[in-house]
A and B are shown apart, each in its own frame.
Chain A
Amino acid sequence: MLLLPAVLFAGEDLQFPVEEFTLDNGMTFLVVERHTAPVFSGYICVGAGSACERIGDIGTAHLLEHMMFKGSQEVGTTDYEAEKELMIKEDSVWAKIDEAMQRTRYIRLNEPDKLEGHLQYIADLEAILDSLSAAGSKYVVQNEFDQIYSRNGAAQFNATTGYDFTYYYVSLPANRLELWFNMEAGRLLKPAFREFFTERDVVSEERRQSVENSPDAKLFEQLIGTAFIAHPYQIFWEWQSEENNLTRDDLQRFFDSYYIPQNISVAIVGDVTLDEVKEMAEKYFGRMPRGNEPEPIYTVEPVQPGERRVTLEFDANPAVSIAYHKTSFDDPEEPVFSIIERLLGEGRTSRLYKSLVLDQQLCLDVSAYTFPGNNLGDLHNNVFCIDAYPKEGVSIDRVEKAVYKELGRLSSEPVKENELTKIKNNIDADFIWGAYSNMGLARNLARAHRLAHNWRFLSTARDKLLAVTPDDIMTVAGKYFTKENRTVAILVPKEKGGEQ
C-alpha cells in the first residue's frame, strides 16, 4: 500500500484534509473524515464507459452496469454452482438461437418450404431458454443486493454509465462501513450475471422511455450522431439491435478488461476514520488481482471540414441543438472553453439567456453545456452544445442567427472585467458548494482522480480557470465558433405524405 500525506482540499476558508492511499494492486482510495452525523457516502469510479465499446457490442457498458446490481457469487443466490451450470446452458441455447436467426433469411430465399419448420425450431429453442431461466430462478434470491443495502438504511443508491467512466455510489449509516466494503468487493471481484436475458429487455424499455419517446433526447441523439463521424462519443445511447444480441461473454470480456484495480478510484466521505478504511480496503480489495492495462481508445475525431445539419421529425414543438467540436480535459484551451460555457449559459445574465430569452424574446429557454461533460472535462475531444426552444411563431432560422451573433461577439469584443469577475466569483462559489454534501464531495474527488490520476486536479483546474484572460476568450472563440466546426440538429413537426 502506498500512503501519501494528507493534503488540504482548500480554497478560501474551506479546509478538508484529503487522505489518499493506493493498494499494491493499484486501486486508489480517497478519504475525507466528516463527523457531523453518523453517515458516509461511498463513490466508486471505474475508468470505462460506453466509449470503450466496439461496434457490434454497443450497450455492453450499460448492460454490465445493470448486471452489477444482480449481486455476486455470494449475494443473490442460494447455490451459485447450480446457477452457473444453468447459465452456461442458457448461453449455449442462446448461441443456437442466434445462429438459427442468421440462417432465417437464406431459408426464406432458397428453401421457403422449410421456413415454417425453421421458425418453429427457433420458437422451441426460446421455450427451452425460458425454462432454463425459470429453473435458474429457483436459486435466485431476487434483488438481494438492493435488499441488503436497503434494509441497512441505504440512500442515494444507484449507478450511472457514462462515456469515459461508470459510477457506483451509495450513502449509508456510518456503522455499515464494513458492509459497504463487503458488498462492493463481492460484486467487483466475483460478480454474477444472473437474470441476463430479462435484463436485456429492461434495458430496451429504458431506451424507449429515455430516448425514443423523448423529443429532447431523440434530437440530441441525432445531433451527436451527426457531429461525430469517427469517435465512439458519436453513440449517445446504445442501439436496440446490438443490445438485444449481447451475450454474457461480451460482458465478461469487458469486465475483465476494464474492471481492474488500477482502473478504479474510490472516494469515501463522512463519519469514518482513515485507519478503519485502510484496514478494510486491504482486507476486501487487497486480493483483487491486477489486470493488464486495457487498450486505449486511439480514435481521434478528424477535424470537421464543413457544417453538418440534420433534421428530426417528431410530434413535438420546434427545437434546435447546435454542437461545436472542442478540446479534451487537459488541453491548454480547455479552461478557456469552461469560461466561455459560463459566459454563454450560466445564470439569467448569461449572454444567451439575456439576449435570446429576456431581451429579444426569441426563445422560451436556452442552455449551453458540454457533452459528455464530466464536470472537469472529458478524456477525448468532445463538443460544446447549445439548445434553444423558440417561442411560438419564431423561426429556427431567426434563433440560429441570434445564437451565431452572440458567439461572434465573443471573438470580436473583449469581455469586460466586470463580467469576467462575475464568472470567477461563480467558480469560487461552486468550489465551496462542491464540498457541501458527503456524496457531492466524494463524487468530485473520485471523478477528478480517475480523470487526471490526481484528485488535486480539482484545485489546479480551478486555478487555470481563474487565469483566463479576455484575449484568450477571443482567440478560442474565433478558432472554434466557425460555420465549418458546427453541427445543427432541428426538430420539426412530422410531415404527412410522401415526397412532394
Chain B
Amino acid sequence: MILAALTALAINPRDMSFSPIDFDAPEPERWVTDNGMTIFFLEDHQLPVVTATMLIRGGQVYDPAGKSGLAEITAALLRSGGAGDRTPDQVDAALDFVGANISSNASKDALTVDMSTLKKDLDTVFGIFTDMLIRPMFDSAKTALEISNRKDRILRQNDDPESITRRVYYETVYQGHPYGLYPTLASIGNISRNDIFAFHRKFYSPGNCILAVSGDMTIDELNSLVGKYFSGWKQSGEKIEPVANAEMKYRPGVYYACKDINQAHIRFGHLGMDMKNPDRFAMEIMNYCLGSGGFMSRLTKQVRTSSGLAYSVGSYNYLRPLGGTYFSYCLTRADAMAQATTMMMDIIREVKKNGITAEEMEIARDAVINSSIFEYDTPSKIVTAKARLEYLGFPPDQMEKNIESYKAVTLEECNRAAQKYLDIDNIAIIITGNKELFDKPLETFGPVTEVSMEIK
C-alpha cells in the first residue's frame, strides 16, 4: 500500500483526482457433482463462519393456474415444516441453539435457500440445510398454519399504500403474465399438501441447483460435506416447461386505487427491454442521469431538491428474465399529485427528445464503474455473483464484460436509448390516494379505471 502523497494545502474535493481502482478479485473454484449440482467455492478465513446460497431453477412463475402462492408456500415450508428426521420444532431448536440461520424463499424467477453458521456448527447446520432441500416433511399442521397465515396476510394487503401501488402496477403492466399474478384467498384455498410435495419434487432437484459457498473451510472439507449429504440426491427428471415472455396487454391510462391518505403514491411505466439487450448499458447510464442515480438524477434534482415535492422519487430500468419493465415513481402530498406527475413526465419527455449531456454521462459512468467493486469485494459476494450469472445464463466473465461495456458507451448511444426505450405515451399510471384531495382530476392524465380494493 503506497502512502498517498498528501497535498500541501487542502484543495477543493471536486478537484481531487485518483487513479482507477485496480483489484484482482479471486476466482472461485467451480465444479459439477455427479448428480448434476453446480458448485462455486472460495475460502475466507477472516472469521470462523460459513455462508452458502443455493439457487434452484423454479419460482412463482411456475405456480400452476389457479394456485398462485404455491411456490412461496413450498419455499416457506421447507424452513418451517420439518426436515429429515427432525420435526418442525426440532429444526427450529437445532438452528436457534447455535445461532445459525437458514432461510428459504421463492421469488418470481428463482427459488433460494440461504445458510449462515459459525464454522464449529457447520456439519449439523449443513445437514439440516440438505435435509430441507432433499427430504422436507411438510408437516400437516404446519402446512395448515402456513396456508392460514398466507390468507391473513392477503387480508392485510391494503393496509400500506406503497404495497398497494406496487401490486397494482405489476398486475396492470404484466396483465396476462405470471409476473402480474398475486396470490388470492381463492388461489391459496386451492393448494393442497399434495400440490406442495409435487412442486418440491419437480423443482428441488440437483440438476436444477447451483450452490455458492464461502467461508472458513477448505475445498476438501466442502467436498467431504457435499459427498456426505448430497450424493444420494436423485434427479427428479421432470421437465420444466419454459414460460412465455410478457406482452403488452394493458390499456394505457390511469389506474386509481382509493385510499384515504394525505399523499399520492404514483408509479407509472411500461414493459421494458430484454435482460440481454446490448443496449442495456447505454440505457443504464442514461437512466442514471434521468432517474436512478439518486441525487445525481434529473428527477431527484428537480422534483425533490429544487421543488421539495418529494422525499422518494426516481425511475428504474428493471431487467427480468421474462421481460423487464421501466417505471418512474414519486410519493408526494395529495394536493401536489398532478404537479409532481406533470413535472416528472415533462422531464422524461425532455430527455427522450433532447437526450442527456456529455457531462452528466461522464459522472454517471464514473459512478457506475467505480462503485462496481462493491459487487465483489468479499468472497461471499463473489461466489454469489458467479452463481447468479450462471443461473441467468450469462457467461462467467460477465461482470468484467459489463465494465468494458460501460466504458465503451457513447453519448449518441445513450440518447438513442432514450428515444427508443422511453415509451412515455404508452404508460400505465398507478395512483394510490384520495382523489378528493388531488390538485387536478385523474382524467388529466388519460382514461381512468378505478381498481377494486376488494380482497378476494
Q: Do A and B bind each other?
A: yes
A interface residues with partner B (beta carbon < 8 Å): 12-14, 34-39, 69, 74-75, 137, 142-144, 146-148, 150-156, 171, 173-179, 182-183, 185-186, 195, 197-206, 208-209, 212-215, 271, 273, 275-276, 279-280, 283-284, 315-317, 346-350, 354, 358, 361, 364, 389, 391-392, 418, 421-422, 425-426, 428-430, 432-433, 435-437
Name the 3 nearest CB pairs between A and B, nearest first: A153-B370, A201-B308, A429-B99
**A37 interface neighbour in B12, B366, B378, Cβ under 8 Å:** B378
Indicate if the CB atoms of A183 and B13 lie closer than 8 Å.
Answer: yes
Indicate if the CB atoms of A361 and B148 lie closer than 8 Å.
Answer: yes
B interface residues with partner A (beta carbon < 8 Å): 1, 3-4, 6-7, 10-14, 16, 18-19, 21-23, 25, 46-49, 80, 89, 92-93, 95-100, 116, 118, 145, 148-149, 151-153, 155-156, 159-162, 259-263, 293-296, 300-301, 304-312, 331-333, 363, 366-367, 369-374, 377-378
A39 proximity list for chain B (CB < 8 A):
373-374, 377
Indicate if the CB atoms of A182 and B13 lie closer than 8 Å.
Answer: yes
B155 proximity list for chain A (CB < 8 A):
317, 392
A206 proximity list for chain B (CB < 8 A):
311
B371 proximity list for chain A (CB < 8 A):
150, 153-155
Indicate if the CB atoms of A209 and B263 lie closer than 8 Å.
Answer: yes
A205 to B310, CA, bound (A): 6
A479 to B295, CA, bound (A): 50
B11 proximity list for chain A (CB < 8 A):
182
A312 to B305, CA, bound (A): 33
Indicate if the CB atoms of A178 and B4 lie closer than 8 Å.
Answer: yes
Indicate if the CB atoms of A143 and B310 lie closer than 8 Å.
Answer: no
Indicate if the CB atoms of A150 and B310 lie closer than 8 Å.
Answer: no
**B18 interface neighbour in A155, A179, A203, Cβ under 8 Å:** A179
A425 to B96, CA, bound (A): 9
A364 to B159, CA, bound (A): 15
Cβ-closest chain A residue relative to B381: A37
If A197-B308, A436-B47 are given as contacts, then 17 extra A-B residue pairs at C-beta distance below 8 Å, sorted by A number, are: A37-B377, A38-B23, A142-B305, A146-B294, A153-B366, A175-B4, A178-B6, A182-B10, A186-B13, A205-B311, A208-B333, A209-B311, A280-B6, A316-B159, A350-B96, A361-B148, A432-B48
A284 to B149, CA, bound (A): 56
Cβ-closest chain A residue relative to B297: A143
Indicate if the CB atoms of A147 and B22 lie closer than 8 Å.
Answer: no
State the Cβ distance, A132 to closest chain B Cβ, in Å: 14
Indicate if the CB atoms of B98 and A205 lie closer than 8 Å.
Answer: no
A271 to B160, CA, bound (A): 42
A sample of 18 inter-chain contacts (CB < 8 A) reads A12-B48, A13-B48, A37-B377, A142-B306, A143-B296, A150-B294, A150-B366, A173-B370, A179-B16, A202-B304, A205-B310, A208-B262, A273-B1, A276-B4, A349-B89, A358-B145, A426-B99, A432-B49
Most buried by A among B22, B25, B331: B331
State the Cβ distance, B421 to closest chain A Cβ, in Å: 23
Indicate if the CB atoms of B363 and A151 lie closer than 8 Å.
Answer: yes
Indicate if the CB atoms of B23 and A37 lie closer than 8 Å.
Answer: yes
**A147 interface neighbour in B19, B148, B261, B295, Cβ under 8 Å:** B295
A179 proximity list for chain B (CB < 8 A):
13, 16, 18
State the Cβ distance, B312 to closest chain A Cβ, in Å: 6
Cβ-closest chain B residue relative to A13: B48
A146 proximity list for chain B (CB < 8 A):
294-296
Cβ-closest chain B residue relative to A215: B159
State the Cβ distance, B262 to closest chain A Cβ, in Å: 6
A432 to B311, CA, bound (A): 36
Indicate if the CB atoms of A176 and B18 lie closer than 8 Å.
Answer: yes
Indicate if the CB atoms of A171 and B374 lie closer than 8 Å.
Answer: yes
Most buried by A among B18, B23, B294, B371: B371
Indicate if the CB atoms of B152 and A392 lie closer than 8 Å.
Answer: yes
Given A74-B13, A349-B96: A175 in contact with B18 (beta carbons within 8 A): yes
State the Cβ distance, A146 to closest chain B Cβ, in Å: 4
Indicate if the CB atoms of B331 and A209 lie closer than 8 Å.
Answer: yes
Given A205-B311, A422-B97: A275 in contact with B3 (beta carbons within 8 A): yes
A214 to B263, CA, bound (A): 11
Indicate if the CB atoms of B370 and A151 lie closer than 8 Å.
Answer: yes
State the Cβ distance, B419 to closest chain A Cβ, in Å: 26
A20 to B131, CA, bound (A): 47
B161 proximity list for chain A (CB < 8 A):
213
**B261 interface neighbour in A203, A213, A348, Cβ under 8 Å:** A213
A358 proximity list for chain B (CB < 8 A):
89, 145
Indicate if the CB atoms of B6 and A153 lie closer than 8 Å.
Answer: no
A437 to B47, CA, bound (A): 10
State the Cβ distance, B15 to closest chain A Cβ, in Å: 10
A69 to B296, CA, bound (A): 13
State the Cβ distance, B369 to closest chain A Cβ, in Å: 8
Indicate if the CB atoms of A177 and B4 lie closer than 8 Å.
Answer: yes
A364 to B156, CA, bound (A): 11
State the Cβ distance, A348 to closest chain B Cβ, in Å: 4
Indicate if the CB atoms of A391 and B296 lie closer than 8 Å.
Answer: no
**A215 interface neighbour in B92, B160, B296, B310, Cβ under 8 Å:** B160
Indicate if the CB atoms of A317 and B156 lie closer than 8 Å.
Answer: yes
Indicate if the CB atoms of A153 and B312 lie closer than 8 Å.
Answer: no
A150 proximity list for chain B (CB < 8 A):
293-296, 363, 366-367, 371
Given A38-B373, A147-B296, A205-B308: A433 in contact with B21 (beta carbons within 8 A): no
Indicate if the CB atoms of B262 and A200 lie closer than 8 Å.
Answer: no
B306 proximity list for chain A (CB < 8 A):
137, 142, 195, 198
State the Cβ distance, B288 to closest chain A Cβ, in Å: 9
A202 to B311, CA, bound (A): 5
**B16 interface neighbour in A34, A182, A418, Cβ under 8 Å:** A182
A199 proximity list for chain B (CB < 8 A):
305, 308
A175 to B262, CA, bound (A): 46
State the Cβ distance, A277 to closest chain B Cβ, in Å: 11
A209 to B332, CA, bound (A): 8
State the Cβ distance, A471 to closest chain B Cβ, in Å: 23
A436 to B50, CA, bound (A): 11
B293 proximity list for chain A (CB < 8 A):
150
Indicate if the CB atoms of B21 and A205 lie closer than 8 Å.
Answer: no
**B152 interface neighbour in A143, A391, A425, Cβ under 8 Å:** A391
A392 proximity list for chain B (CB < 8 A):
151-152, 155
Cβ-closest chain A residue relative to B375: A155
State the Cβ distance, A269 to closest chain B Cβ, in Å: 12
A36 to B263, CA, bound (A): 46
State the Cβ distance, B275 to closest chain A Cβ, in Å: 23
